[in-house]
Structures are given as C-alpha cells and as structure tokens.
Amino acid sequence: MTEVDKGIPKEEEIKAEDAKASEPKDEPKVETEKTEPVDSAKPSNDDNILNAVAHAMILFLPVIAPLLIWIIYKDKSESVKFQSMQAMIFQFIVTTIFIMLVMVGTILSFLLLPILLIFVGIAVWCIGVLYGLWGAYKCFTKAEFKYVLIGDMVDKHC
C-alpha cells in the first residue's frame, strides 16, 4: 500500500460509514396515547345532560319536560329520544298512580282506609322520584339506564 492509499478512504469504507449513519439509532420509544374509536352510538356530553334532565324533571315538570325534550331532540339524538321517552312514560305512570290514590283517599275520607291510601300515594311518589333521580344520575355519569319493564318496551317501539 502506498501513502496515498492510507490517507484516502476507500469507496467501500465510505459506503459502509454512510450505511451506519443512516441506520436508526437506539432512541427511546415514545408511546402515543391510545384513543378509543369514536362510537356514534355513545351519547355525547350534551346528550348525557339532556338525558339526566329528562329523568330529573320528575321533581318539577313530570311528563311535560321529557315530552318537550323528546319533541325537540327526537330526530337529533337516538340516546335523547330513548331516554326522554322512557322518562316520560315512567313519570306518567308514577304521577297517575299518585293522583288516583290521593283522589280515592280524599273521596273516601270518612273512613280510616283513605288516609292509608294517601300515605301509600305519597310513598309511591317518593319512590318514583328517587328512581327517577337514580336514572338521572346514571345518565349523567354516562352509564346506560333502563327502567324496569318500561325500558324494554320503549326500546322495542322507539
């Protein structure tokens, strides 16, 4: 080998150095945040709030508030449509039972039994309100909620 050969890198050495430089270095891998695919069947936050309001309105405007929510949102959100319809039916049933028991108890007020009917009516109303508020809580926390018997009936027809 000549002195000139020692100072000048050979073509193969240059290619080997370029190949080494182009190889990926051991860099720490950064994990990206995994996101769940968007499911169009899941209600949005606004839907959850409307669902909860439909159930909670048993305290202030039973039947009327869920009916208004259903009329306004029935074509916009399947979740709101379903939850407001079942809230409306549940509130109608509870309110009707309450009114009937109180009315019968009032009409028959000359007996001891009517006072019992009035208390049963108030108990039915209180249990209905608590169950409606439980539905509001479940909807607000993004859980699926169905009233016993009513939920399945609405699910078939809605």
Answer whether residue 61 shows pLDDT above 60. yes
Could you tell me the pTM of the whole model? 0.69
Cα-based angle 57, 58, 64 (whole degrees, multiple of 5): 70
Rounded Cα distance between 5 and 11, Å, is: 11
For residue range 97-140, list pLDDT tens digits in order.
999 988 888 887 776 667 788 888 899 999 999 999 999 999 99
